[in-house]
Structure 1
Amino acid sequence: MIRGWYIGASGMNAQQNRLDTISNNLANVDTTGFKKDIPVSKEFSELLLRRTQADGIYKVPGGSCDAAPVIGSIGLGVETNEIYTDFQQGSFKNTDTKTDMALAGEGFFAVQTPAGERYTRNGNFHLGKEMILLTKEGYPVLGENGPIHVEDDKFFVNQDGMIYSKEDNALVDRIKVVRFENERYLKKQGSSLWNTNEIAGAPHIAEGDERPRFLQGYTETSNVNVVNEMVQMIEVNRAYEANQKTVQTEDSMMDTLWSKVATVNR
């Protein structure tokens, strides 16, 4: 019976993690370039139940055999295995703002932060006082030659990310877009930023077919589907209640065991 408490409690913990993830997805449904998280759960190994003390052992020359029949198996609970990011492409929103950009395809803008280079899909940029292209948080957007300096907001960006000034059509820089070996394992840092690690691999500049198309005057919306998230939230609530009832039932059975069965056998 005590095992039932742990099984029910593990299910409640797993559903709580799912609910926290769904809540975060819904909270960022209007965040530019946001990528939803998906929790993955795994079950503990099952325990094989056999009948014991029922004449289930018979002897043979040189040893004995267990003839106890298998009753069945019992699960030992579940746990959250990982929470990974779904990098599926979001839709595009027309802003008609020259400093806004969206990536059509896989890849990340590179930005310079006090903690080092970080990566984002949020192309909602603006010009700072020194005419440097910045993120909403004030981090410089990097070109392949460093922070991007432009004369005004009339610049033009082609589909390859080449920036040209409007006055003399001179090349300013090419926007740095990076890719990773295992993008699934990038870690969120907040403010729509990601950081790499040993599993995700070192960043490399996207070239050729790896390089996404640039859309100037557009931003990428989040890839969160509100309807799907709400449906999953209902499923989580029902699953949580089912596990909760399991714990309550186990508690009731234990109460009966101690208050009635133990009293009779005293």
Structure 2
Amino acid sequence: MKRFRFSLRTVSRHGFLAITTAFVVAPFIWMVSLSLKPPEEIFQGSFSLLPQSWHATQNYSRAMTASPLPRFMLNGVLICTIILALQILVCAPIAYALAKLKFPGRHVLFTLVLVSLLIPSQVLALPLFILAYQLGLLNTYAALVFPFIVSPFGIFLFRQFFNTIPDDIVHAARLDGMSELTIVWRIMLPMAIPALIAFSVFSVVGHWNDLFWPLIAVRSQELMPPPLGLMAFRNEDTGIDYGPLMAGSTIVVAPLVIVFVFAQRWFIEGLTSGGLK
């Protein structure tokens, strides 16, 4: 009886996960399906996952030529790389200070970090826009980067991971004459590789898909990241060209899927494990 109950719970759990996974994956499958179809099949009343006549070459070639999609992709890579590098450069020392250093107000500062996690980024859009205007940063790469240099989530994640690393390791490094910053970069961060990879995935996915802030901060097509660049397929006179739009969306999403597939083991470990086995 116990074995039967255990099997029933296992089947129910996996069934629930399969259903929720289907809801999550279905839009992406439908996006790829539409990217392979001609316009007349996209708007037909009957449902078919595979196209009757393949239109993939036309859709994907138009997605690459109708707008400078390779330029948008390059902008996305550049912006996400700069943001991630600056976030690690700023967040790791702050997280180390909150985790391993004793100073007045440490718990208050960590509370402020937790509170900042509850504030939607859109709330700060207006003051950030005014600040960028006053600094003359609008319509530049700097405008797409500077609001995200400090990541409260990055501070929180690194701080929680650093807390699991024994203090004896830090004390031994200090006895060897290492400075606090040297300890961060040569001791703490290498031990926090799973957390680093997990944060990198969150950061890259979040800023690669960001549309709200780039829509405000830049106007030049040469600076547009991928989500903003895909809006080039929207035409108020002729309507939206859905085939190339879905093809472009598939091209934009593909790098994120590939990165997650290769990094999923470290991603899960970074969210669930500690600093030492």
Q: Same fold (TM over 0.5)?
A: no
TM-score, structure 2 normalization: 0.23
TM-score, structure 1 normalization: 0.23
Larger Rg: 1
Q: Comparing both structures, which one devotes a greater share of its residues to helix?
A: 2
